[in-house]
């Protein structure tokens, strides 16, 4: 069953590769609808290249294309006329709210929750949520599906491979320590393939 709960992701959520990858694998479970915009892409790529000059722009552009291809209808368009009408403490955040409104999102997932005051979002039926809180909520909806997505994410790291303890540390460093701790507790489940699990 496909969820109708829609989450719009701010650029800062995609800055870290480990967190970005986990969110993409979770988005493919259909536990929620993931949405973002070209402007969000431009922002996370620009900021990442400023901090990591060793990275190649072409590689990040490839990641961008793969993200858009991996999640159906993820890319929000047509929000630009609304930007100037949005009222937020930082005018640079208005494009995020405008795109979230256009795609009828339920929440904006961002590390900068304080930049999206409840009174400014409430008229649009929106609220801002920290990625750690968002991921904990997703895990609580369907723990087996969440574990499957984590396993798939872990399995896709081949060169070099990534083990669970390293993965947990990386997520903790990415700013989501509580879901990292929860994932660490899934070790016995993650060792089982879905077909190996006992029937309920």
48 or 189, which is more confident: 48
Q: Are 19 and 109 in contact, with CB atoms under 8 Å apart?
A: no
| pLDDT level of residue 195 (50, 70, 90 thresholds) | very low
| pLDDT level of residue 3 (50, 70, 90 thresholds) | low
Residue 58's pLDDT is 95
* % of the chain residues with pLDDT over 90: 86
Residues 49/55/61/64 CA torsion (nearest 10 deg): -80
Residue 197's pLDDT is 44
pLDDT in tens, 100-111: 999 999 999 999
């Amino acid at each position: 069953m496909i969820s109708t709960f829609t989450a719009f992701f701010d650029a800062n959520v995609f800055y870290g590769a480990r967190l970005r990858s986990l969110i993409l694998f979770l988005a493919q479970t259909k536990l929620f609808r993931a949405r973002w915009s070209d402007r969000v892409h431009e922002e996370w790529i620009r900021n990442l290249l400023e901090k990591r000059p060793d990275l190649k722009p072409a590689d990040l552009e490839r990641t961008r294309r793969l993200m858009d291809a991996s999640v159906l209808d993820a890319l929000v368009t047509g929000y630009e006329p609304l930007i100037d009408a949005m009222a937020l403490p930082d005018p640079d955040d208005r494009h995020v709210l405008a795109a979230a409104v256009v795609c009828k999102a339920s929440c904006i997932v961002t590390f900068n929750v304080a930049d999206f005051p409840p009174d400014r979002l409430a008229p649009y039926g929106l609220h801002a949520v920290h990625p750690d809180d968002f991921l904990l909520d997703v895990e609580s909806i369907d723990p087996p599906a969440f574990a499957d997505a984590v396993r798939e994410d872990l399995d896709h790291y081949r060169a070099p491979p990534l083990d669970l303890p390293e993965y947990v540390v990386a997520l903790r460093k990415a700013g989501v320590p509580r879901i990292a701790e929860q994932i660490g507790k899934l070790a016995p489940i993650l060792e089982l393939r879905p077909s190996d699990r006992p029937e309920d």
